[in-house]
Amino acid sequence: MDFDNTFDALYPQLVRYCHRLTGDRDSAEDTAQEALVRLYQHGVEGPESALRGWLFKTATHLIRDRYRVDENRRRLLAANPVTPTRPDGPGEAFDREERRALARKALNLLPERDREMLLLRYEGFSYKEIAVAVDVAATSVGTLLARAEKRFVEALDGEELPA
């Protein structure tokens, strides 16, 4: 695929994944861009599904590396507080912000790998693709995903999401 086709097919999904994973807009854009640059630097070719797998795995590792240091992680979370504050606007806007903050908090409570797997699954990755992207045995993906999803929902329930 040429640049535009690859970009159109994969960038929106990739930057969304990176943003969900980090909670940081700039970091998501930087990571998605870096992954695409590496795709071309390495001359990776193949069908869209293969490029997608390569890009998401690369992005996942870039984010892991970037936020491996606890201090960086704390800085990131501090820059994206999870405690909602009531804005002056209408209640609908508050609910939206509150839902976002609670979802972020619930996601941040998950271990790194569980978080990655959950987000990949909800980007439409198959169990096999998830296994490759996060370096786990394919036979373990079902069990790990079930646990991640359950923990995420428990964390959400614990915060009583607004209707």
Q: Is 99 in the site for other proteins (CB under 8 A)?
A: yes
Answer whether 112's CB lies under 8 Å from 105's CB.
Answer: no
Which one of 3, 47, 78, 88 is in contact with other proteins (CB under 8 A)? Answer: 3
Q: Give 163: exposed, middle or buried? Use CB within 10 Å, 0-12, 13-18, 19+.
A: exposed
What stretches of the chain show up as alpha helix (H) in DSSP? 3-22, 25-41, 48-66, 70-79, 91-109, 112-121, 127-134, 141-158
Q: Which of residues 49-88 bind other proteins (CB under 8 A)?
A: none
What DSSP assignment string belongs to 145-158? HHHHHHHHHHHHHH
Which one of 59, 62, 63, 107 is in contact with other proteins (CB under 8 A)? Answer: 107
Q: Is 156 in the site for other proteins (CB under 8 A)?
A: yes
Q: Residues in the site for other proteins, rule: CB under 8 A?
A: 1-7, 11-12, 15-16, 19-20, 23, 25, 29, 32-33, 36-37, 40-41, 43, 96, 99-100, 102-104, 106-107, 118-119, 121-122, 126-127, 142-143, 145-146, 149-150, 152-153, 156, 161
